[in-house]
Amino acid sequence: MRILFMGTPDIAAAALSALVEAGHTVCGAYTRADKPVGRKQIMTAPPVKQYAEAHGIPVFQPKTLREGAVRDTIRELAPELIVVVAYGRILPPEVLSIPPKGCINLHVSLLPKYRGGAPVQWAVLNGDRQTGVTIMYLDEGLDTGDILRVAPLEIGEDETSGELFERVTALGAQTLLRAIDDIAAGTAQRTPQNHAEATAAPPLTKEMAQFSFDAPARKLHNLVRGMNPWPAAYFLCGGKKVKVLRTRCDDAPRAAPGTVFSTKPLCVACAQGALTLLEVVPEGSRPMSGEAWAAGRRLSTGGSVL
């Protein structure tokens, strides 16, 4: 099938690669602008652009899709289908109407749950046991279109957002190819979403990452998992941040939140249960085990982690 692709990050590049390897003709790749990356702020192309250029696919990086010249270019490319994966822009009606087989989108949740920019992270933050991917037809709303295909995926009890995203990326590419096969064969079925069941998944913020131990251990465990790799959950110790990358929930006798139950491993009382800090990053330092950090701070059983 002749496809126009729109996407930006790694998950989009993986989907684009799957389309190419499956033998589809990708007539162009629309992506966001290059951005400065790292401490040296080096201008870096998004993953979709890097893949497209390496495979001879024309790349387009317009600031908006609402200009007439942009729509004219899309018409000249003559796609049968537009495929969107984490592009970061809503397609206007004038673009949605161009391809004869429509426009479809890969979304990494089981819609209508978790509409928005951070569905994987919110599934982990909320302690969900299951997520998945949805292939849907695009309309003018935000993740509101009719569903074409879904594929569920179990979430591991200690799995981080980053780890889950890797598995969702692979599942998404596979499911996208099956959906396109359905469209090509004329067997695609449209299922309207139940909008009354919709929930939001807005982008994470750095402000969400700070925590204290006067919350249930399970809630903090999910926060640490959901905030890994970004922005990384943390607590303050002596006015400095201690990022927490990995934890484990443990049962424990009642004690004041922040009380150290043990230092090998480092286990800390919470409002309910206890949290074992498996991997931390003290401010200005490298990642280390909670046990190593506790030794450096000379923490002792019965004392406070703060």
- List, as one string, the DSSP characters of 17-84: HHHHHTT-EEEEEE-PPPEEETTTTEEE--HHHHHHHHTT--EE--S-S-SHHHHHHHHHH--SEEEE
Q: CA separation (Å) from 54 to 20, 47, 216, 302? A: 12, 11, 49, 58
Give me the pLDDT at residue 68, please.
92
Amino acid at 163: E
Q: What residues contact residue 100 under an 8 Å CB cut-off, 6+ apart?
A: 80
Give me the pLDDT at residue 293, please.
97
pLDDT tens for each residue of the chain, 306 residues long: 999 999 999 999 999 999 999 999 999 999 999 998 887 888 899 999 999 999 999 999 999 999 999 999 999 999 999 999 999 898 999 999 999 999 999 999 999 999 999 999 999 999 999 999 999 999 999 999 999 999 999 999 999 999 999 999 999 999 999 999 999 999 999 999 999 999 999 999 999 999 999 999 999 999 999 999 999 999 999 899 999 999 999 888 889 999 999 999 999 999 999 999 999 999 999 999 999 999 999 999 999 998
Q: Secondary structure of the chain: what % helix, strand, coil (to 5)? A: 30, 30, 40
Give me the pLDDT at residue 252, please.
81
pLDDT tens-digit map of 219-245:
999 999 999 999 999 999 989 999 999
CA 12 – CA 75 distance, rounded (Å)? 22
Give me the pLDDT at residue 130, please.
98
Give me the pLDDT at residue 37, please.
84
Give me the pLDDT at residue 139, please.
94
Q: What residues contact residue 196 under an 8 Å CB cut-off, 6+ apart?
A: none
Give me the pLDDT at residue 304, please.
94
CA 276 – CA 291 distance, rounded (Å)? 10
Which 8-state DSSP code applies to residue 197? G
pLDDT tens-digit map of 286-299:
999 999 999 999 99
